[in-house]
Amino acid sequence: MGITTHRSICRVCHGGCGAIVYSDGRRVLRVKGDVQSPISRGWMCIKGLKSADIANHPQRLTTPLKRKGQRGQGLWQKISWQETLDEIAQKVDDLRIQHGAESIVIGQGTGRHHYMHVVRFANALGTPNWYEPGLAQCFIPRITVSHLTYGGFPVADYYGDKKPECILFWGHNPLVSSADAELAPALRRTLRSGCMTIAVDPRRSETAKKCKMWLPIRPGTDAALALAMINVIIARGLYDAEFIDNHTVGFDELRDHTVGFTPQWAAGITRVSAADIEEAACLYARLRPAVLEWGLGLEQNSNSLQGVRAVAILRAITGNIDVPGGDILGMNVLRAYPLLKDKLPSEQARKRIGAEGFKLLGGWRAYMPSAHIPGIFNAINDGVPYRVRGMLVFGSNPLLTLANPKRALEGIRRLDLLVVTELFMTPTALQADYVLPAAFWTEIDHLMGVPLVAENFVFAQSAVLHTPHCRQDEWIIDELSKRLHLPGSEVSFKDVFDYQLKPLGINFDKAAEAIYICPPHRYHKYRENAFRTPSRKVELYSASLKRMGYAPLPSHVEPPEGPEASPELLAEYPLVLITGSRRIEFFHSEHRQIDALRRLRPRPQAQLHVSVAGARGIGDGDEVLVCTRRGQITVFAEVTEDIAPYVVSVEHGWWFPERLSELWFDPKALWQANANVLTDDSPPYDPAFGSYRLRGLLCDVRKKD
């Protein structure tokens, strides 16, 4: 067979870049960017370009595996798909009958193609306990707050004729970490226009280096900075009076609330100078239209709700919502994914772990009601509020990506059933009873609507080829659903795609031929239909939050472990830790076994300021220990001036596939460079989302002997 080309959508991260896939019918030969993509226009990151290396890797899982030895020993029996699915379905059914469906947790990782189908499966199964780390720590707090405040989620307008005059990057490094419909290419094009750019970030990240102003904020103090900027904008009369008068509620309350939140007040908290706070506020307010690009740096602390709320209000008072060149509200032209919410009985929903305590994570007002992850492991390890006994994990590696991974490992080893669907054997999959080989993005059929990241684009992709015995996660779920006789099991995932596309008058096969569906942009949609909030306006003062028992206006809350709250720890831990900085070669804990990518970043690094390194006798490239009260890891120093002098930044997701066989004999190989050994999943949590602390923790660094 000769070489063929197939246009598709790369999903090596969340996805969105157009791809041209070259294949000989058996293997992917190479991948390049598709110049016809309305978003990426031919650009593709190094991960996508190396997709053939991933798809064809000799260590890729290619057959279902059943555990033979002790959990984690790495002894496996190869079995057929029919045997695998029959046995898993029987074990799931036994747990459901004997202990209730709530005893089974459905887990998944970052937002991939199977995301909604996993939620649908959990509802049909009758378990209220599904999780994904981002629901409390990444993106979902921003989505939820946006819906509470504006009735929709705003995204940057980089695609219309009008370009932003100002971009404010807040805790976001999209030139490296863009993983949603690939923001980076459009952003690069916009930056070439010469607009004003401001970065709020403890690090001078790759994006911050492109900015004309850098505010090196103390981690965990975002609300204080945003409140001070609101104060400046109101005090100087830089707000959009027409928009506020006609389209918002609560401005008077906001003005009174922020009177004392001056730049001088915030400077003492954030360690950003009062002059810089004032200048940044004035630039953002005066240079319109403006875009506010926010990231997960806002969400990984115990003041997640109010920090995100304070930043969200900045958009509204400057009138930058749904205007050309500003932040536009997405238009979802697809039908909503049928999640079968009505199949989860209300008495089961009330059993959701964390629902009562964290109403915007697990309650009825939550954007995607889900379980609280620390609570799940309390239930597994301690039986509180009941014992969790089974876990099905789709595309996630919780031993690397959850805080307090040692407790996670303790819990995983207690389970009666652990099923993991993966591309490669991982530390988590090594502990499983069954490991199922997943399809790579070149082997899947998928429909992707992206109103959360690019206003209203729809992408459809069909499989280029199929690797024998590897199966798409949605297919696995459908097969389990049939065996369990779950509601909705007669509907395949491709039937769901047809249902979603009905408003457009096409089916999935036709959409996959077109690949890109791009309805025209529309601005000022609120003039036609108002905002989708109870008041039909932007809610600066949130009566909805007040009814739920949360503050209707945002305030700063000092991080519970930090220089101000924990001065007694400073002698031992004088520095402030942030984790989670990304590398473009990897995606979370993925791709460390891909030689072409690993060569570009062969070892884990911690970024520290030259003054910190000098005081400790640390040179660039030295092996160092990073320590917190919870543990220590070994990484390599990257000595730089591009970070606040008191901050240490550690990359996350690091493990060593070449040492996987050692984990049975020496679990320390798993903790060696695992940033989550340092993080904290204990209370206090954000009261609404249950967010725990991955940033703003006290630490120290010392040279390894």
Indicate the pLDDT class of residue 520, thresholds 50, 70 and 90: confident
Can you name the residues that pair with 107 across neighbouring β-strands? Answer: 131, 393
Can you name the residues that pair with 305 across neighbouring β-strands? Answer: none
* Closest by Cα among 54, 60, 61, 55 to 26: 55
Q: How high is the pLDDT of residue 38?
A: 85
Indicate the pLDDT class of residue 582, thresholds 50, 70 and 90: confident
Q: Say yes or no: 387 and 421 in one domain.
A: yes
Which tokens is 673 given?
Answer: 């460079």
Q: Say yes or no: 608 and 680 in one domain.
A: yes
DSSP assigned state of 693: B
Q: Is residue 339 in a domain? A: yes
Q: Say yes or no: 159 and 196 in one domain.
A: yes
User: What are 651-697's pLDDT values in tens digits?
Assistant: 999 999 999 988 877 778 899 999 999 998 999 999 999 999 999 99
Distance of alpha carbon 650 from alpha carbon 672, whole angstroms:
13
Kindly state the average pLDDT of the residues 468-485. 97
Contact 213, 199 (CB under 8 A): yes
Indicate the pLDDT class of residue 180, thresholds 50, 70 and 90: low
How many C-beta neighbours within 10 Å does residue 70 have? 10
Contact 415, 687 (CB under 8 A): no
Q: Tell me whether the omega of the peptide bond preceding residue 684 falls within 30 degrees of 0, making it cis.
A: yes
Q: Say yes or no: 237 and 275 in one domain.
A: yes
User: What are 181-232's pLDDT values in tens digits?
Assistant: 467 788 888 899 899 999 999 999 999 999 999 999 999 999 999 999 999 9
**Dihedral sign from CA coordinates of 426, 428, 432, 435:** negative
Distance of alpha carbon 301 from alpha carbon 691, whole angstroms:
6
Q: Is residue 531 in a domain? A: no
Indicate the pLDDT class of residue 1, thresholds 50, 70 and 90: low
Domain's final residue, options 501, 517, 533: 517
Domain's final residue, options 274, 296, 329: 329
CATH code, domain carrying 473: 3.40.50.740
* Closest by Cα among 46, 251, 73 to 660: 73
The letter for the amino acid at 220 is G
* Closest by Cα among 145, 154, 153, 158 to 184: 158
Question: Helices marked H in 260-353 — which ranges?
Answer: 263-270, 274-286, 304-317, 346-349
Can you name the residues that pair with 198 across neighbouring β-strands? Answer: 168, 213
Chain centroid to Cα 35, Å, comes to 27
Domain's final residue, options 300, 329, 358: 329
Q: How many domains does the chain have?
A: 4
Indicate the pLDDT class of residue 330, thresholds 50, 70 and 90: confident
Distance of alpha carbon 304 from alpha carbon 140, whole angstroms:
11
Question: Helices marked H in 109-250 — which ranges?
Answer: 115-125, 134-137, 140-149, 174-177, 183-191, 222-235, 241-247
Q: How high is the pLDDT of residue 455?
A: 52
Q: Say yes or no: 323 and 337 in one domain.
A: no
DSSP assigned state of 587: B
Q: How high is the pLDDT of residue 189?
A: 86
Contact 538, 149 (CB under 8 A): yes
Domain containing residue 375: 65-138+333-457+466-517
Report the 3 state secondary structure along 368-382: CCCCCHHHHHHHHHH
Kindly state the average pLDDT of the residues 421-448. 96
Q: Say yes or no: 679 and 581 in one domain.
A: yes
Q: How high is the pLDDT of residue 161?
A: 85
CATH code, domain carrying 644: 2.40.40.20
| Mean residue pLDDT across the chain | 94
Q: How high is the pLDDT of residue 593?
A: 96
Residue 454 in this model has a pLDDT that exceeds 80: no
Q: Say yes or no: 122 and 183 in one domain.
A: no
Kindly report the CA angle at 147 between 143 and 151, in degrees rounded to 5? 140
Kindly state the average pLDDT of the residues 279-296. 97
Give one DSSP letter per residue of 419-441, joined into a string.
EEEESB--TTGGG-SEEEEBPPG
Residue 450 in this model has a pLDDT that exceeds 80: no
90 φ/ψ sector (left φ>0, alpha ψ -120 to 50, else beta):
alpha
Distance of alpha carbon 507 from alpha carbon 498, whole angstroms:
5
CATH code, domain carrying 12: 2.20.25.90
Q: Say yes or no: 420 and 325 in one domain.
A: no
Q: Say yes or no: 373 and 447 in one domain.
A: yes
Distance of alpha carbon 463 from alpha carbon 512, whole angstroms:
10
Q: Is residue 196 in a domain? A: yes
Q: Tell me whether the omega of the peptide bond preceding residue 385 falls within 30 degrees of 0, making it cis.
A: yes
Q: Say yes or no: 372 and 440 in one domain.
A: yes
Residue bearing the bigger pLDDT, 611 or 300: 611
Q: Is residue 144 in a domain? A: no
Which tokens is 598 given?
Answer: 């690993």
The letter for the amino acid at 473 is D
Contact 390, 105 (CB under 8 A): yes
- Looking at 340-349, 435-444, 659-668, which range is the least confident one? 659-668
* Closest by Cα among 307, 217, 201, 218 to 563: 218
Q: Is residue 528 in a domain? A: no
Q: Is residue 542 in a domain? A: no
Q: Say yes or no: 164 and 121 in one domain.
A: no
* Closest by Cα among 212, 209, 174 to 39: 174
Which tokens is 463 given?
Answer: 């499989």
DSSP assigned state of 194: T
Residue 122 in this model has a pLDDT that exceeds 80: yes
CATH code, domain carrying 318: 3.40.228.10
Q: Is residue 547 in a domain? A: no
User: What are 28-64's pLDDT values in tens digits?
Assistant: 999 999 999 988 889 999 999 999 999 999 999 999 9
Q: Look at the block and give the residue holding tokens 């590696």.
A: 397
Give the pTM: 0.95
Q: Is residue 513 in a domain? A: yes
Distance of alpha carbon 275 from alpha carbon 279, whole angstroms:
6
Q: How high is the pLDDT of residue 457?
A: 79
Q: Say yes or no: 174 and 303 in one domain.
A: yes
